[in-house]
Amino acid sequence: MGAPKKTLGYSSRTEAVLALRASGLSTRQIAERIGIPENTVTALEHSSGRAKKRPTRPSEENGRTILFPCRVLDRLGPHAAKRGIHPNHLARLLVEVAVDEGLIDSILDDVGVTYA
């Protein structure tokens, strides 16, 4: 095995991947920024030993799954990073606040969404 490849000012690609992940970037964004395939990003994370299984959150046990398009989560990335959270967490918060504050009709009316 050769010496670690310096990447984006980090001493190795693994270090770069971990730092970019910590800043809230998605796997796709990390891959594009470093110039490696997405599966390599995942492999580097797992081989670092830092991709440990986390405990299941109560919302995951008691909730239902909603799939957001990757393009939406990618666009939420910078806003999530400012708050130090993951884009998925920001998406959940946005939906929760919109529901709790009774904003659903206002939001949909403002953008002209109507359903029969």
**Averaged pLDDT, 99-106:** 89
Tell which CATH classification among 1.10.287, 1.10.10, 1.10.8, 2.40.50 matches the domain 1-53.
1.10.10
pLDDT of residue 69: 92
Q: What's the whole-number mean pLDDT along residues 76-96?
A: 89
Position 53 scores a pLDDT of 57
Cα angle vertex 11, ends 8, 16, to 5°? 50
Tell me if 24 sits within 8 A of 81, measured CB to CB.
yes
Q: What confidence score (pLDDT) does residue 22 get?
A: 87
DSSP 12: S
- What are the residue ranges spanned by the domains of the chain? 1-53, 56-116
Query: Is the Cα dihedral 25, 26, 31, 32 positive or negative?
Result: negative
Tell me how far apart the alpha carbons of residues 35 and 27 are, in angstroms, rounded to a whole number.
Answer: 12
Model confidence over 41-85: pLDDT tens digits? 888 888 777 545 566 666 666 777 788 899 999 999 999 888 888
Residue with tokens 């990335």: 77
Q: What is the pLDDT of residue 85?
A: 84
User: pTM of the prediction?
Assistant: 0.47
